[in-house]
């Protein structure tokens, strides 16, 4: 299968579904990552947006060496401004093209109600555009596809209002997930400045909490997006 992760920021795939992606990869599936922004305001130590974006895209590719098995051509940067992603014609088109590009059987993304702005907007764009995958008259530079991917929405930071519907046991892949996350050096450092716990600690606590809920050591939580014609198959989660 083709597995597509559409995330708002370069470190989100590792944080929210890295253990699940590693399980897909181990099972022989092909993993693709599309990032709606390159996180170009996510730093206090870099001088310009361009500089932060370049650093963070490099970190995304470094993380992807682990998560997608080293294939940089399976990472797509949509390059909207961090904290500036909106529901525009341009953004809808870019998200649709990313979905068609990967020809996915499964899509993983943010919940549309995620309170973090770019997270929620990315989830909204994906859930709104999935119906246009086969539509030839919707403007796009990538041709329509006939696949009907299952769309799963991942957890929010620290749980929030998220109600899990399915859990993926990532106990065996958790250490490698954390190693991939730590390749986002600028973010681990920046988050460490203003969070009580740093990014790795936050990740461990979230995955341990979801693991406790479902009776394993570490887990990632998801719910399914349901819309006519694209009903999700929960059995496609690892």
Binding mask 26-55 for Zn ion (x = CB under 5 A): ------------------------------
The answer to whether residue 82 forms part of the interface with Zn ion (CB under 5 A) is no
How far apart, in whole angstroms, are the C-alpha atoms of residue 54 and residue 221? 31
- Taking the complex as a whole, how short is the minimal distance between the CB of residue 202 and Zn ion, in angstroms? 12
The answer to whether residue 9 forms part of the interface with Zn ion (CB under 5 A) is yes
Task: Give the DSSP letter string of 154-175.
Answer: E--TT-TT---SEEEE-TTTHH
Given the rule CB under 5 A, which of 3-11, 19-27, 40-48, 81-89 is the region that contacts Zn ion? 3-11
**Residues 18, 180: contact at Cβ < 8 Å?**
yes
How far apart, in whole angstroms, are the C-alpha atoms of residue 22 and residue 206? 18
Q: Count other C-beta atoms under 10 Å from residue 233's C-beta.
A: 12
Token pair in block for residue 232: 């999700």
- Taking the complex as a whole, how short is the minimal distance between the CB of residue 8 and Zn ion, in angstroms? 5
The answer to whether residue 110 forms part of the interface with Zn ion (CB under 5 A) is no
End-to-end CA distance of the chain: 12
Given the rule CB under 5 A, which of 4-12, 97-105, 164-172, 206-214 is the region that contacts Zn ion? 4-12
Indicate which single residue of 12, 59, 155, 220 sits in contact with Zn ion (rule: CB under 5 A). Answer: 12
- Taking the complex as a whole, how short is the minimal distance between the CB of residue 2 and Zn ion, in angstroms? 23
The answer to whether residue 57 forms part of the interface with Zn ion (CB under 5 A) is no
Smaller CB distance to Zn ion: residue 122 or 132?
Answer: 122
Token pair in block for residue 238: 């690892």
Helical H segments across the chain, by residue range: 12-26, 49-67, 89-102, 117-129, 174-181, 185-194, 199-214
- Taking the complex as a whole, how short is the minimal distance between the CB of residue 187 and Zn ion, in angstroms? 9
Using CB under 5 A as the criterion, which residues of the chain lie in contact with Zn ion when the complex forms?
8-9, 12
């Amino acid at each position: 299968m083709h597995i597509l992760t559409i995330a708002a920021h370069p470190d989100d795939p590792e944080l929210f579904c890295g253990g699940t992606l590693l399980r897909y990869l181990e099972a022989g599936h092909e993993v693709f990552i599309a990032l709606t922004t390159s996180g170009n305001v996510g730093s206090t130590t870099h001088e310009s947006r361009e500089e932060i974006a370049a650093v963070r895209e490099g970190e995304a590719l470094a993380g992807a060496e682990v998560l997608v098995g080293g294939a940089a051509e399976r990472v797509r940067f949509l390059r909207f401004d961090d904290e500036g992603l909106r529901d525009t014609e341009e953004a809808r088109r870019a998200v649709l093209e990313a979905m068609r590009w990967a020809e996915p059987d499964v899509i993983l993304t943010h919940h549309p109600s995620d309170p973090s702005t770019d997270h929620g907007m990315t989830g909204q764009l994906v859930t709104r555009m999935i119906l246009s995958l086969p539509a030839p008259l919707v403007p796009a530079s990538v041709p329509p596809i006939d696949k009907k991917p299952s769309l799963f929405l991942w957890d929010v930071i620290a749980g929030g209002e998220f109600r899990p519907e399915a859990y993926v046991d990532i106990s065996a892949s958790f250490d490698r997930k954390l190693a991939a996350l730590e390749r986002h050096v600028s973010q681990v450092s920046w988050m460490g400045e203003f969070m009580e716990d740093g990014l790795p600690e936050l990740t461990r606590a979230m995955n341990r909490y979801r693991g406790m809920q479902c009776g394993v050591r570490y887990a990632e939580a998801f719910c399914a997006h349901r819309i006519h014609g694209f009903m999700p198959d929960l059995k496609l989660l690892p």
